[in-house]
Amino acid sequence: MNTIRSVRGMHDILPADSPLWQWLENQLAQIFAAYDFHEIRLPLVEQAEVFMRAIGQATDVVEKEMYAFEDRNGDMLSLRPEGTAGVVRAAIQHGLLQSPGLKVWYQGPMFRHERPQKGRQRQFHQFGAEVFGLEQAAADAELIAMVERIWRTLGLRDKIRLEINSLGDRADRARYRQLLIDYLKPHVHRLDADSQRRLETNPLRIFDSKNPDTKALMADAPRLFDALGESARVHFDQVCHLLEQLGIQYQINPGLVRGLDYYCRTVFEWITDDLGAQGTVCAGGRYDELVAMQGGKDTPGIGFALGVERVLALLSAGGMEQVQVPQVYLVSQVEIGEALKLAEQLREAHPGLRVGMSLAGGSFKAQFKRADRSGAPLALVLGEAELAAGVVQVKNLRSDSAQQDSVPIAQLAEHLARLLAASGEH
């Protein structure tokens, strides 16, 4: 029979890899807390409408990538392709927007039916954060500063650069849209098929095209950045000024448009050159009209999403590895119930202690082999003689010395705490 495999582009996270994931998750949770963000956990499935309204019909995500299906009742549902639309749906539904300044973060899998390749999966993971009710440039600056802190904490500061742009306000984009159409109309034959279609539906999206001919044409197009209205311009200048005050380096990229329709004003991407074509590790921007579009009362918002797999790829490229091995490994030649009892006693007396043991039994020699393979620095040896005397032998597995210390079981937890602290094992 054929063995069953996981769905293409959807990957298992194996025990060998999960410590690095957990480490990253803890680091990020701490940073979010330091900025007074609170976690929100949302369903992976929403009404398809949630994303179609928010992200926009004429975008890659909705047109080509979203997993949408009819459930048994005939409701149109979607696996979430991103986090923001669901956060907005929940914030409206639960009245979280009544007072301004809601700050939330989320994490978890997202689903997009894209061509799987390096740095691009069909189930991937994001961390994201959103701020509501604040139109001030300070909200943009604080959010960007938080992401900068993430890079510094992870040791990735030198590998990632920040690009920012402004998409202006609705009226700016409407005015610009016409400018862009007028520029592109005479060259329509040089546009790829998707872009020709989007010329009418969503011309700004054409900046996202990967087609070389289209890209060349777009390089000379009039720029939205030059068509900003007064208030969007002032907002953008304030953001830039705050970033400078905070010592945050950035480049203005007038071609940066982002792939989702809900953005306005400030947009940003953090990009690396170390991951080939899939170089954007984190991206986001303002979405001052999204809450109203989703049926809530007019509330500005701003947020970002960070691609976990890409960040982990950068960390691994830098040799970062988190291994989590047992701190002690119990080998025994007594009735297995006695060995289990001792392990329980240790866990009770020393919460957090990582205790491995040989449940399969066998000779001391076979068990010591397993102890070695586990990576644990210390072995605890429990034979009939030790059990009778109420002691265990403690053996250092990382030294060649055959020395074993006999330690009374009552003092074992304390003894181990001292040994592990001395060897820097926590």
Query: How far is residue 104 CA from its own chain's centroid?
Result: 14
Region from 35-43, 279-287, 337-345, 418-426 binding ligand ATP, contact rule CB under 6 A:
279-287
Sort strands 38-39 and 103-111 into parallel, antiparallel or unpaired: parallel
CB of 6 to ligand ATP, least distance (A): 15
Our CB check for ligand ATP shows the closer of 312 and 355 to be: 312
Q: Is 259 in the site for ligand ATP (CB under 6 A)?
A: yes
- Single residue of 137, 281, 290, 328 touching ligand ATP by CB under 6 A: 281
Query: How far is Cα 285 from Cα 256, in angstroms, rounded to an integer?
Result: 11
- Single residue of 139, 283, 290, 314 touching ligand ATP by CB under 6 A: 283
Q: Is 121 in the site for ligand ATP (CB under 6 A)?
A: yes
Find the angle CA(134)-CA(137)-CA(140) to the nearest 5 degrees: 80
Q: Is 280 in the site for ligand ATP (CB under 6 A)?
A: yes
Q: Is 66 in the site for ligand ATP (CB under 6 A)?
A: no
Which tokens go with 71? Answer: 């459930």
Region from 161-169, 244-252, 277-285, 288-296 binding ligand ATP, contact rule CB under 6 A:
277-285
Size of the chain, expressed as the number of residues it contains:
426
Our CB check for ligand ATP shows the closer of 61 and 331 to be: 61
What phi and psi values does residue 37 have, to the nearest 5 degrees?
-95, 150
Q: Is 278 in the site for ligand ATP (CB under 6 A)?
A: yes
Angle between helices 137-154 and 230-245 (to 10 degrees): 40
The residue number with the shortest CB distance to ligand ATP is 307
Q: Is 124 in the site for ligand ATP (CB under 6 A)?
A: yes
Our CB check for ligand ATP shows the closer of 121 and 266 to be: 121
Here's the x/- map for ligand ATP, 303-342, by CB under 6 A: it reads as --x-x-xx--------------------------------
Burial 191-202 (b: 16+ CB within 10 A, else e): bbebbeebbeeb
Q: Is 267 in the site for ligand ATP (CB under 6 A)?
A: no
Q: Is 120 in the site for ligand ATP (CB under 6 A)?
A: yes
Our CB check for ligand ATP shows the closer of 172 and 309 to be: 309
Here's the x/- map for ligand ATP, 77-96, by CB under 6 A: it reads as -----x--------------
Beta strands in 287-396 (DSSP E): 301-307, 328-332, 355-357, 378-382, 391-396
CB of 124 to ligand ATP, least distance (A): 3
CB 329 within 8 A of CB 371: yes
Query: How far is Cα 238 from Cα 251, in angstroms, rounded to an integer?
Result: 15
Tell me how far CA of residue 306 lies from CA of 81, 82, 121, 128, 163, in angstroms. 13, 11, 14, 6, 15
CB of 111 to ligand ATP, least distance (A): 9
Region from 180-188, 281-289, 383-391, 416-424 binding ligand ATP, contact rule CB under 6 A:
281-289
Q: How many residues bind ligand ATP (CB under 6 A)?
A: 18
Tell me how far CA of residue 173 lies from CA of 140, 202, 303, 391, in angstroms. 20, 11, 20, 77
Torsion of CA 372, 375, 376, 382, to 10 degrees: -20
Region from 119-127, 159-167, 222-230, 321-329 binding ligand ATP, contact rule CB under 6 A:
119-127
Our CB check for ligand ATP shows the closer of 120 and 415 to be: 120
Q: Is 205 in the site for ligand ATP (CB under 6 A)?
A: no
CB 282 within 8 A of CB 307: yes
Which tokens go with 221? Answer: 């197009």
Residues that bind ligand ATP (CB under 6 A): 82, 112, 114, 119-121, 124, 126, 259, 278, 280-283, 305, 307, 309-310
